[in-house]
DNA sequence: TCTGGGGTCCTAGGACCC
DNA sequence: TCTGGGGTCCTAGGACCC
Protein backbone atom coordinates (compact mmCIF):
# COMPACT_ATOMS: atom_id res chain seq x y z
CA UNK A 1 0.00 0.00 0.00
CA UNK A 2 1.02 3.60 -0.66
CA UNK A 3 0.09 6.83 1.05
CA UNK A 4 0.17 10.29 -0.41
CA UNK A 5 0.37 13.06 2.16
CA UNK A 6 -0.36 16.51 0.78
CA UNK A 7 -0.30 19.86 2.58
CA UNK A 8 -3.62 21.66 2.28
CA UNK A 9 -3.31 25.00 0.44
CA UNK A 10 0.38 24.71 1.16
CA UNK A 11 1.69 28.24 0.68
CA UNK A 12 -1.32 29.88 2.31
CA UNK A 13 -0.99 27.50 5.26
CA UNK A 14 2.74 28.32 5.57
CA UNK A 15 1.87 32.00 5.91
CA UNK A 16 -0.61 31.14 8.65
CA UNK A 17 1.94 29.20 10.70
CA UNK A 18 3.47 32.41 12.05
CA UNK A 19 0.28 34.43 11.77
CA UNK A 20 -2.25 32.61 13.94
CA UNK A 21 -4.43 35.71 13.70
CA UNK A 22 -5.07 34.73 10.07
CA UNK A 23 -6.22 31.22 10.90
CA UNK A 24 -9.70 30.56 9.44
CA UNK A 25 -9.48 33.76 7.41
CA UNK A 26 -9.21 34.19 3.65
CA UNK A 27 -5.52 34.22 2.67
CA UNK A 28 -3.97 34.13 -0.79
CA UNK A 29 -0.39 33.91 -2.07
CA UNK A 30 0.81 35.48 -5.33
CA UNK A 31 3.37 34.09 -7.75
CA UNK A 32 6.74 35.72 -8.29
CA UNK A 33 6.40 39.33 -9.38
CA UNK A 34 2.97 39.37 -7.73
CA UNK A 35 1.53 38.08 -11.00
CA UNK A 36 -1.05 35.39 -10.37
CA UNK A 37 -2.83 33.80 -7.45
CA UNK A 38 -1.11 30.49 -6.73
CA UNK A 39 -2.52 29.50 -3.35
CA UNK A 40 -5.78 30.11 -1.52
CA UNK A 41 -6.85 29.17 1.98
CA UNK A 42 -10.13 27.27 2.40
CA UNK A 43 -11.92 30.48 3.21
CA UNK A 44 -10.48 32.22 0.14
CA UNK A 45 -11.68 29.34 -2.05
CA UNK A 46 -15.09 29.65 -0.48
CA UNK A 47 -15.24 33.30 -1.58
CA UNK A 48 -15.00 32.00 -5.13
CA UNK A 49 -11.48 33.29 -5.79
CA UNK A 50 -10.21 31.29 -8.78
CA UNK A 51 -6.75 29.69 -9.00
CA UNK A 52 -4.05 31.05 -11.35
CA UNK A 53 -5.88 34.30 -12.03
CA UNK A 54 -3.91 37.52 -12.59
CA UNK A 55 -3.88 39.48 -9.36
CA UNK A 56 -4.60 42.86 -10.93
CA UNK A 57 -7.94 41.65 -12.23
CA UNK A 58 -9.18 40.78 -8.75
CA UNK A 59 -7.52 43.54 -6.75
CA UNK A 60 -10.72 45.43 -5.99
CA UNK A 61 -12.69 42.37 -5.04
CA UNK A 62 -9.91 41.11 -2.76
CA UNK A 63 -9.70 44.40 -0.90
CA UNK A 64 -13.45 44.60 -0.52
CA UNK A 65 -13.55 41.09 0.96
CA UNK A 66 -10.68 41.79 3.35
CA UNK A 67 -8.51 39.02 1.94
CA UNK A 68 -4.93 38.87 3.29
CA UNK A 69 -2.43 38.89 0.44
CA UNK A 70 1.15 37.62 0.40
CA UNK A 71 3.96 37.65 -2.15
CA UNK A 72 5.50 34.21 -2.63
CA UNK A 73 8.12 33.58 0.07
CA UNK A 74 9.79 30.40 -1.14
CA UNK A 75 12.48 30.54 1.52
CA UNK A 76 9.81 30.18 4.17
CA UNK A 77 7.86 27.51 2.27
CA UNK A 78 10.97 25.45 1.66
CA UNK A 79 11.81 25.45 5.34
CA UNK A 80 8.29 24.55 6.51
CA UNK A 81 8.18 21.82 3.87
CA UNK A 82 11.44 20.42 5.18
CA UNK A 83 9.96 20.20 8.69
CA UNK A 84 6.91 18.34 7.39
CA UNK A 85 9.03 15.88 5.41
CA UNK A 86 11.38 15.21 8.30
CA UNK A 87 8.44 14.32 10.53
CA UNK A 88 6.82 12.14 7.86
CA UNK A 89 9.98 10.06 7.49
CA UNK A 90 9.28 8.61 10.93
CA UNK A 91 6.16 6.92 9.60
CA UNK A 92 7.52 4.75 6.78
CA UNK A 93 10.72 2.97 5.86
CA UNK A 94 10.50 4.19 2.27
CA UNK A 95 9.49 7.70 1.31
CA UNK A 96 9.54 9.83 -1.82
CA UNK A 97 9.51 13.61 -1.69
CA UNK A 98 7.34 14.25 -4.73
CA UNK A 99 7.06 18.03 -4.57
CA UNK A 100 7.38 20.86 -2.09
CA UNK A 101 4.06 19.89 -0.53
CA UNK A 102 3.62 16.18 -1.26
CA UNK A 103 5.25 13.00 -0.08
CA UNK A 104 4.61 9.36 -0.97
CA UNK A 105 5.05 6.80 1.82
CA UNK A 106 5.32 3.08 1.29
CA UNK A 107 3.03 1.36 3.78
CA UNK A 108 4.17 -2.19 3.12
CA UNK A 109 4.45 -4.33 6.23
CA UNK A 110 2.50 -1.90 8.40
CA UNK A 111 -0.46 -2.57 10.70
CA UNK A 112 -3.85 -3.31 9.14
CA UNK A 113 -5.61 -0.28 10.45
CA UNK A 114 -4.19 2.21 7.99
CA UNK A 115 -7.09 4.59 8.43
CA UNK A 116 -6.17 5.17 12.07
CA UNK A 117 -2.49 5.34 11.11
CA UNK A 118 -3.32 8.07 8.59
CA UNK A 119 -5.20 10.04 11.24
CA UNK A 120 -2.23 9.74 13.54
CA UNK A 121 0.07 11.18 10.86
CA UNK A 122 -2.28 14.03 10.19
CA UNK A 123 -2.57 14.95 13.86
CA UNK A 124 1.16 14.72 14.39
CA UNK A 125 1.98 17.10 11.52
CA UNK A 126 -0.56 19.54 12.87
CA UNK A 127 0.79 19.29 16.40
CA UNK A 128 4.47 19.66 15.45
CA UNK A 129 4.43 21.97 12.43
CA UNK A 130 0.94 23.51 12.43
CA UNK A 131 0.44 22.35 8.85
CA UNK A 132 -2.92 20.85 7.87
CA UNK A 133 -2.47 17.80 5.63
CA UNK A 134 -4.65 15.27 3.81
CA UNK A 135 -3.77 11.59 3.56
CA UNK A 136 -4.76 9.21 0.75
CA UNK A 137 -4.01 5.49 1.05
CA UNK A 138 -4.37 2.90 -1.73
CA UNK A 139 -2.57 0.00 -3.45
CA UNK A 140 -0.92 2.17 -6.18
CA UNK A 141 0.53 5.66 -6.34
CA UNK A 142 -2.10 6.81 -8.84
CA UNK A 143 -4.90 5.53 -6.58
CA UNK A 144 -3.22 7.12 -3.56
CA UNK A 145 -3.34 10.46 -5.39
CA UNK A 146 -7.01 9.84 -6.09
CA UNK A 147 -7.65 8.90 -2.46
CA UNK A 148 -5.96 12.12 -1.40
CA UNK A 149 -8.25 14.08 -3.70
CA UNK A 150 -11.26 12.36 -2.13
CA UNK A 151 -9.93 13.05 1.37
CA UNK A 152 -9.98 16.76 0.56
CA UNK A 153 -13.40 16.82 -1.11
CA UNK A 154 -15.48 14.59 1.16
CA UNK A 155 -15.68 16.29 4.54
CA UNK A 156 -16.95 13.30 6.53
CA UNK A 157 -13.65 11.52 5.79
CA UNK A 158 -11.91 14.04 8.04
CA UNK A 159 -8.88 14.37 5.81
CA UNK A 160 -7.97 10.70 5.49
CA UNK A 161 -9.22 8.40 2.75
CA UNK A 162 -8.46 4.71 2.38
CA UNK A 163 -9.28 3.12 -0.97
CA UNK A 164 -8.45 -0.51 -0.32
CA UNK A 165 -11.13 -2.33 -2.34
CA UNK A 166 -12.22 -2.13 -5.96
CA UNK A 167 -15.74 -1.11 -4.90
CA UNK A 168 -14.37 1.91 -3.03
CA UNK A 169 -12.04 3.20 -5.74
CA UNK A 170 -14.57 2.58 -8.49
CA UNK A 171 -17.11 4.60 -6.54
CA UNK A 172 -14.70 7.55 -6.62
CA UNK A 173 -13.60 6.92 -10.21
CA UNK A 174 -17.17 6.97 -11.51
CA UNK A 175 -17.71 10.43 -10.03
CA UNK A 176 -14.66 12.27 -11.37
CA UNK A 177 -13.74 13.44 -14.87
CA UNK A 178 -10.75 11.73 -16.45
CA UNK A 179 -8.58 14.88 -16.26
CA UNK A 180 -8.48 14.53 -12.46
CA UNK A 181 -6.19 11.51 -12.79
CA UNK A 182 -2.48 12.00 -12.11
CA UNK A 183 -0.83 12.04 -15.55
CA UNK A 184 -3.84 12.99 -17.67
CA UNK A 185 -3.77 16.66 -18.58
CA UNK A 186 -6.15 18.79 -20.56
CA UNK A 187 -4.80 17.79 -23.99
CA UNK A 188 -5.06 14.06 -23.48
CA UNK A 189 -8.34 14.65 -21.67
CA UNK A 190 -9.85 16.25 -24.77
CA UNK A 191 -8.74 13.41 -26.98
CA UNK A 192 -10.10 10.86 -24.53
CA UNK A 193 -13.43 12.66 -24.46
CA UNK A 194 -13.78 12.38 -28.22
CA UNK A 195 -13.23 8.63 -27.79
CA UNK A 196 -16.13 8.52 -25.34
CA UNK A 197 -13.92 8.25 -22.26
CA UNK A 198 -15.21 10.81 -19.79
CA UNK A 199 -14.97 9.52 -16.24
CA UNK A 200 -11.90 8.02 -14.59
CA UNK A 201 -13.78 4.73 -14.47
CA UNK A 202 -14.14 4.82 -18.28
CA UNK A 203 -10.36 5.07 -18.53
CA UNK A 204 -9.79 2.31 -15.98
CA UNK A 205 -11.91 0.02 -18.14
CA UNK A 206 -10.18 0.86 -21.43
CA UNK A 207 -7.82 -1.64 -23.06
CA UNK A 208 -4.31 -0.75 -21.85
CA UNK A 209 -2.43 -2.13 -24.89
CA UNK A 210 -4.71 -0.34 -27.29
CA UNK A 211 -4.37 2.94 -25.38
CA UNK A 212 -0.61 2.57 -25.38
CA UNK A 213 -0.61 2.41 -29.18
CA UNK A 214 -3.02 5.33 -29.38
CA UNK A 215 -1.05 7.51 -26.87
CA UNK A 216 2.10 6.37 -25.07
CA UNK A 217 3.40 4.01 -22.43
CA UNK A 218 2.47 6.29 -19.54
CA UNK A 219 -1.23 5.95 -20.14
CA UNK A 220 -0.87 2.17 -20.05
CA UNK A 221 0.78 2.41 -16.63
CA UNK A 222 -1.94 4.77 -15.45
CA UNK A 223 -4.66 2.28 -16.44
CA UNK A 224 -2.86 -0.55 -14.66
CA UNK A 225 -2.54 1.58 -11.53
CA UNK A 226 -6.19 2.63 -11.64
CA UNK A 227 -7.09 -1.05 -11.36
CA UNK A 228 -5.08 -1.54 -8.20
CA UNK A 229 -1.81 -2.94 -9.60
CA UNK A 230 1.26 -0.81 -8.95
CA UNK A 231 3.16 0.13 -12.14
CA UNK A 232 4.98 3.27 -11.00
CA UNK A 233 7.79 2.73 -8.51
CA UNK A 234 8.75 4.84 -5.55
CA UNK A 235 11.68 7.09 -6.35
CA UNK A 236 13.48 7.18 -3.09
CA UNK A 237 16.85 8.71 -3.95
CA UNK A 238 17.10 12.34 -4.86
CA UNK A 239 18.79 12.43 -8.23
CA UNK A 240 20.78 15.54 -9.05
CA UNK A 241 18.96 17.88 -11.43
CA UNK A 242 19.59 17.41 -15.12
CA UNK A 243 18.71 21.01 -15.86
CA UNK A 244 18.69 24.08 -13.65
CA UNK A 245 16.72 27.13 -14.71
CA UNK A 246 16.42 30.55 -13.24
CA UNK A 247 13.93 32.76 -15.03
CA UNK A 248 11.96 35.76 -13.85
CA UNK A 249 9.50 38.38 -14.97
CA UNK A 250 10.67 41.94 -14.46
CA UNK A 251 9.09 44.31 -11.98
CA UNK A 252 9.83 47.28 -14.24
CA UNK A 253 10.20 46.35 -17.89
CA UNK A 254 13.68 47.36 -19.03
CA UNK A 255 14.52 48.36 -22.59
CA UNK A 256 18.28 48.76 -22.26
CA UNK A 257 20.98 46.19 -22.73
CA UNK A 258 22.65 46.98 -19.42
CA UNK A 259 19.59 46.00 -17.37
CA UNK A 260 19.18 42.77 -19.29
CA UNK A 261 22.81 41.88 -18.76
CA UNK A 262 22.80 42.61 -15.06
CA UNK A 263 19.60 40.63 -14.55
CA UNK A 264 20.95 37.69 -16.54
CA UNK A 265 24.12 37.81 -14.46
CA UNK A 266 22.05 37.63 -11.28
CA UNK A 267 20.01 34.69 -12.57
CA UNK A 268 23.17 32.91 -13.67
CA UNK A 269 24.65 33.39 -10.22
CA UNK A 270 21.56 31.86 -8.62
CA UNK A 271 21.56 28.89 -11.01
CA UNK A 272 25.31 28.35 -10.53
CA UNK A 273 24.80 28.28 -6.77
CA UNK A 274 22.27 25.48 -7.15
CA UNK A 275 24.67 23.75 -9.52
CA UNK A 276 27.48 23.78 -6.95
CA UNK A 277 25.02 22.66 -4.26
CA UNK A 278 24.59 19.38 -6.08
CA UNK A 279 28.31 19.09 -6.85
CA UNK A 280 27.87 19.42 -10.62
CA UNK A 281 29.22 21.45 -13.47
CA UNK A 282 27.74 22.36 -16.86
CA UNK A 283 29.06 22.35 -20.39
CA UNK A 284 26.24 24.36 -21.95
CA UNK A 285 23.77 27.04 -21.05
CA UNK A 286 20.66 28.51 -22.56
CA UNK A 287 19.75 32.17 -22.40
CA UNK A 288 16.53 33.86 -23.36
CA UNK A 289 14.97 37.31 -23.23
CA UNK A 290 11.41 38.00 -24.24
CA UNK A 291 8.82 40.72 -24.51
CA UNK A 292 5.37 40.32 -23.07
CA UNK A 293 3.43 37.58 -24.79
CA UNK A 294 0.44 39.91 -24.67
CA UNK A 295 2.12 42.30 -27.10
CA UNK A 296 1.03 42.40 -30.72
CA UNK A 297 4.34 41.16 -32.10
CA UNK A 298 6.11 39.58 -29.17
CA UNK A 299 9.83 39.03 -29.55
CA UNK A 300 11.43 35.99 -28.02
CA UNK A 301 15.15 35.48 -28.44
CA UNK A 302 16.90 32.41 -27.17
CA UNK A 303 20.33 30.96 -27.65
CA UNK A 304 22.16 27.84 -26.57
CA UNK A 305 25.81 28.42 -25.69
CA UNK A 306 28.24 25.53 -25.77
CA UNK A 307 31.07 26.25 -23.33
CA UNK A 308 34.69 25.41 -24.14
CA UNK A 309 34.85 23.31 -20.97
CA UNK A 310 32.51 22.25 -18.16
CA UNK A 311 32.52 24.60 -15.21
CA UNK A 312 30.68 25.70 -12.05
CA UNK A 313 32.38 29.09 -11.81
CA UNK A 314 29.79 31.87 -11.69
CA UNK A 315 32.19 34.28 -13.39
CA UNK A 316 32.72 32.08 -16.41
CA UNK A 317 29.04 31.22 -16.78
CA UNK A 318 28.05 34.83 -16.33
CA UNK A 319 30.54 35.94 -19.00
CA UNK A 320 29.07 33.66 -21.65
CA UNK A 321 25.51 34.44 -20.63
CA UNK A 322 26.18 38.15 -21.11
CA UNK A 323 27.66 37.59 -24.55
CA UNK A 324 24.50 35.73 -25.52
CA UNK A 325 22.27 38.55 -24.30
CA UNK A 326 24.24 40.99 -26.41
CA UNK A 327 23.43 38.95 -29.50
CA UNK A 328 19.79 38.49 -28.62
CA UNK A 329 19.19 42.13 -27.73
CA UNK A 330 16.96 44.18 -30.04
CA UNK A 331 16.76 47.91 -29.28
CA UNK A 332 13.52 49.89 -28.96
CA UNK A 333 11.63 47.16 -27.19
CA UNK A 334 10.56 46.60 -23.60
CA UNK A 335 11.38 43.23 -22.12
CA UNK A 336 9.08 41.34 -19.78
CA UNK A 337 11.10 38.25 -18.91
CA UNK A 338 14.56 36.81 -19.07
CA UNK A 339 16.13 33.62 -17.94
CA UNK A 340 19.07 31.28 -18.02
CA UNK A 341 19.23 27.50 -17.96
CA UNK A 342 22.18 25.22 -17.26
CA UNK A 343 21.36 22.37 -19.60
CA UNK A 344 24.31 20.02 -19.99
CA UNK A 345 24.95 19.13 -16.38
CA UNK A 346 27.36 16.47 -15.19
CA UNK A 347 28.80 15.39 -11.89
CA UNK A 348 32.10 16.90 -10.78
CA UNK A 349 33.14 13.46 -9.57
CA UNK A 350 33.30 11.97 -13.05
CA UNK A 351 34.89 14.70 -15.08
CA UNK A 352 35.84 14.00 -18.66
CA UNK A 353 38.61 16.37 -19.53
CA UNK A 354 40.25 16.80 -22.84
CA UNK A 355 43.64 17.98 -23.89
CA UNK A 356 42.59 21.62 -24.01
CA UNK A 357 41.02 21.79 -20.59
CA UNK A 358 42.68 24.51 -18.53
CA UNK A 359 44.40 23.09 -15.50
CA UNK A 360 42.24 23.03 -12.39
CA UNK A 361 42.14 26.40 -10.80
CA UNK A 362 42.22 26.08 -7.00
CA UNK A 363 41.58 29.79 -6.63
CA UNK A 364 38.32 29.57 -8.54
CA UNK A 365 37.24 26.68 -6.35
CA UNK A 366 38.09 28.58 -3.18
CA UNK A 367 36.39 31.77 -4.35
CA UNK A 368 33.14 29.97 -5.18
CA UNK A 369 33.18 28.16 -1.83
CA UNK A 370 33.62 31.43 0.01
CA UNK A 371 30.89 33.12 -2.03
CA UNK A 372 28.46 30.31 -1.21
CA UNK A 373 29.39 30.36 2.43
CA UNK A 374 28.76 34.09 2.78
CA UNK A 375 25.44 33.93 0.96
CA UNK A 376 24.32 30.94 2.91
CA UNK A 377 25.13 32.55 6.20
CA UNK A 378 23.94 36.09 5.58
CA UNK A 379 21.26 35.47 2.97
CA UNK A 380 21.19 35.47 -0.82
CA UNK A 381 22.62 38.57 -2.39
CA UNK A 382 25.01 39.39 0.45
CA UNK A 383 27.98 38.86 -1.87
CA UNK A 384 27.61 39.12 -5.64
CA UNK A 385 29.44 39.88 -8.86
CA UNK A 386 29.74 43.50 -9.91
CA UNK A 387 28.21 42.32 -13.19
CA UNK A 388 24.90 41.88 -11.39
CA UNK A 389 24.70 45.65 -10.96
CA UNK A 390 23.86 47.73 -7.91
CA UNK A 391 20.47 49.24 -8.62
CA UNK A 392 18.47 46.28 -9.88
CA UNK A 393 15.50 48.40 -10.91
CA UNK A 394 14.27 45.38 -12.87
CA UNK A 395 13.87 43.36 -9.71
CA UNK A 396 10.59 41.54 -9.37
CA UNK A 397 7.70 43.00 -7.47
CA UNK A 398 7.11 41.58 -4.00
CA UNK A 399 4.84 44.09 -2.39
CA UNK A 400 3.43 41.72 0.22
CA UNK A 401 6.44 39.71 1.29
CA UNK A 402 6.30 38.13 4.74
CA UNK A 403 9.45 37.80 6.89
CA UNK A 404 11.72 34.77 6.49
CA UNK A 405 10.73 33.77 10.03
CA UNK A 406 12.82 30.63 10.20
CA UNK A 407 15.87 31.37 8.08
CA UNK A 408 17.02 34.93 8.83
CA UNK A 409 18.22 36.15 12.17
CA UNK A 410 16.55 39.56 11.80
CA UNK A 411 13.22 37.94 11.00
CA UNK A 412 12.84 35.62 13.96
CA UNK A 413 9.43 36.19 15.54
CA UNK A 414 9.36 37.79 18.98
CA UNK A 415 7.15 36.53 21.74
CA UNK A 416 5.60 38.98 24.17
CA UNK A 417 5.34 37.68 27.69
CA UNK A 418 2.88 38.87 30.32
C1' DT B 1 0.97 49.86 -15.17
C1' DC B 2 -0.33 44.75 -14.09
C1' DT B 3 -0.89 38.06 -16.90
C1' DG B 4 4.35 32.53 -12.59
C1' DG B 5 8.41 29.58 -12.36
C1' DG B 6 10.80 25.32 -12.53
C1' DG B 7 11.07 20.86 -13.67
C1' DT B 8 10.57 15.73 -16.05
C1' DC B 9 9.62 12.26 -19.48
C1' DC B 10 8.23 10.52 -24.08
C1' DT B 11 8.15 10.35 -29.09
C1' DA B 12 9.32 11.13 -33.76
C1' DG B 13 12.57 11.95 -37.01
C1' DG B 14 17.18 12.66 -38.79
C1' DA B 15 22.08 11.45 -38.93
C1' DC B 16 25.14 8.06 -38.77
C1' DC B 17 27.14 3.42 -38.23
C1' DC B 18 28.19 -1.40 -39.84
C1' DT C 1 5.42 -5.66 -57.12
C1' DC C 2 10.02 -6.30 -54.71
C1' DT C 3 15.36 -1.07 -53.86
C1' DG C 4 18.61 -4.11 -46.48
C1' DG C 5 18.14 -4.13 -41.72
C1' DG C 6 19.03 -2.97 -37.31
C1' DG C 7 21.02 -0.21 -33.94
C1' DT C 8 22.47 4.25 -31.41
C1' DC C 9 22.56 8.98 -30.48
C1' DC C 10 20.81 13.52 -30.68
C1' DT C 11 17.32 17.11 -30.89
C1' DA C 12 12.95 19.48 -30.99
C1' DG C 13 8.54 19.58 -29.60
C1' DG C 14 4.68 18.03 -26.94
C1' DA C 15 2.60 16.88 -22.70
C1' DC C 16 2.48 16.67 -18.02
C1' DC C 17 3.39 17.87 -13.06
C1' DC C 18 3.15 21.18 -8.89
pLDDT over 70 at A133, yes or no: yes
Determine the 3-state secondary structure of A188 from DSSP.
helix
Q: CA of A307 and C1' of C13: distance in angstroms?
A: 24
CATH number where A52 lies: 3.30.70.270
Which residues in range 251-310 of chain A are in contact with strand B, contact meaning CB within 7 A of any of its atoms?
A: 253, 274, 292, 294
User: Would the Cβ of A96 be found within 7 angstroms of any atom in strand C?
Assistant: no
In tens, the pLDDT along A182-215 reads: 999 999 999 999 999 999 999 999 999 889 888 9
Whether A221 and A349 map to the same domain: the answer is no
Higher-confidence residue of A308 and A152: namely A152
Whether A361 and A256 map to the same domain: the answer is yes
Whether A177 and A263 map to the same domain: the answer is no
User: Would the Cβ of A396 be found within 7 angstroms of any atom in strand B?
Assistant: yes
pLDDT over 80 at A219, yes or no: yes
Q: Which 8-state DSSP code applies to residue A32?
A: G
Whole-model pTM above 0.95? no
Whether A313 and A356 map to the same domain: the answer is yes
Q: CA of A360 and C1' of C12: distance in angstroms?
A: 35
Q: Would residue A344 count as lying in a domain?
A: yes
Whether A110 and A43 map to the same domain: the answer is yes
A246 phi and psi, to 5 degrees? -135, 110
Q: CA of A223 and C1' of C13: distance in angstroms?
A: 25
User: Would the Cβ of A363 be found within 7 angstroms of any atom in strand C?
Assistant: no
Whether A112 and A155 map to the same domain: the answer is yes
pLDDT band at A408 (very low <50, low <70, confident <90, very high): confident
**pLDDT score, position A352:** 58
Q: CA of A162 and C1' of C18: distance in angstroms?
A: 23
Task: Give the Å distances, CA to CA, from A265 to A41, A51, A143, A153, A156.
Answer: 36, 32, 44, 45, 52
Whether A210 and A320 map to the same domain: the answer is no
Per DSSP, the residues of A138-161 read ESSHHHHHHHHHHHHH-GGGTTEE
- CB A396 within 8 Å of CB A32: yes
Q: Would residue A128 count as lying in a domain?
A: yes
pLDDT over 80 at A151, yes or no: yes
pLDDT band at A360 (very low <50, low <70, confident <90, very high): low
For the segment A221-232, the average pLDDT, to the nearest whole number, is: 95
For the segment A96-100, the average pLDDT, to the nearest whole number, is: 94
Q: Would residue A30 count as lying in a domain?
A: yes
Whether A147 and A207 map to the same domain: the answer is no
Q: Which 8-state DSSP code applies to residue A54?
A: B
Q: Would residue A108 count as lying in a domain?
A: yes
Q: CA of A189 and C1' of C14: distance in angstroms?
A: 14
User: Would the Cβ of A337 be found within 7 angstroms of any atom in strand B?
Assistant: yes
Which of A295, A320, A310 minimizes the C-alpha distance to A349? Answer: A310
pLDDT band at A353 (very low <50, low <70, confident <90, very high): low
Whether A7 and A156 map to the same domain: the answer is yes
Select from A162, A178, A200 the last residue of a domain.
A162
CATH number where A333 lies: 3.30.1490.100
pLDDT band at A389 (very low <50, low <70, confident <90, very high): confident
pLDDT over 80 at A356, yes or no: no
Closest nucleotide relative to residue A7's CA, C1' based:
C18
Whether A170 and A157 map to the same domain: the answer is no
Q: Would residue A304 count as lying in a domain?
A: yes
For the segment A299-324, the average pLDDT, to the nearest whole number, is: 90
**C-beta neighbour count of A247 within 10 angstroms:** 14
Q: Which domain holds residue A171?
A: 166-226
pLDDT over 80 at A358, yes or no: no
Q: How many domains does chain A have?
A: 3
**C-beta neighbour count of A61 within 10 angstroms:** 12
For the segment A164-174, the average pLDDT, to the nearest whole number, is: 97
Secondary structure element (H or E) that encloses residue A84, with its range: helix A74-88
% of residues, chain A, pLDDT over 90: 67
**pLDDT score, position A150:** 97
pLDDT over 90 at A263, yes or no: yes
Strand C, nucleotides < 7 Å from a protein CB: these are 12, 14-18
Which of A389, A362, A191 minimizes the C-alpha distance to A370? Answer: A362
Q: Would residue A109 count as lying in a domain?
A: yes
Whether A256 and A356 map to the same domain: the answer is yes
Q: CA of A300 and C1' of B17: distance in angstroms?
A: 38
Maximum Cα–Cα distance for chain A, whole Å?
Answer: 71
Q: Would residue A414 count as lying in a domain?
A: no
Strand B, nucleotides < 7 Å from a protein CB: these are 1-11
**pLDDT score, position A112:** 79
Q: Is residue A411 exposed (0-12), middle (13-18) or buried (19+ Cβ within 10 Å)?
A: middle
Beta strand segments in A291-373, E = 300-311, 337-342, 345-347
pLDDT over 80 at A345, yes or no: yes
**pLDDT score, position A355:** 57
Q: Would residue A200 count as lying in a domain?
A: yes
Whether A194 and A172 map to the same domain: the answer is yes
Sign, CA dihedral A411-A269-A81-A83, equals negative
Q: CA of A34 and C1' of B4: distance in angstroms?
A: 9
Amino acid sequence: MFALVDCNSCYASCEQVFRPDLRDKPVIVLSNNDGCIIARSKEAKRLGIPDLQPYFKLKGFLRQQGVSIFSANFTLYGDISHRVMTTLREYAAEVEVYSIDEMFLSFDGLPDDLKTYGQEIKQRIWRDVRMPVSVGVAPSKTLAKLANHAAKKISRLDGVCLLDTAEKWQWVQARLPVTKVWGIGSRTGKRLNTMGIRSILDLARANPKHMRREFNVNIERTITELNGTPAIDMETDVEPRQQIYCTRSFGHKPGDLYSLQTSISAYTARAAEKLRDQNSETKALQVFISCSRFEEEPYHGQQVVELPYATDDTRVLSHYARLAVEQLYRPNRLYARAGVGLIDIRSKDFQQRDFFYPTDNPRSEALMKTLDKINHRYGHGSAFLAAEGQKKRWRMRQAFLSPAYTTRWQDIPRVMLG
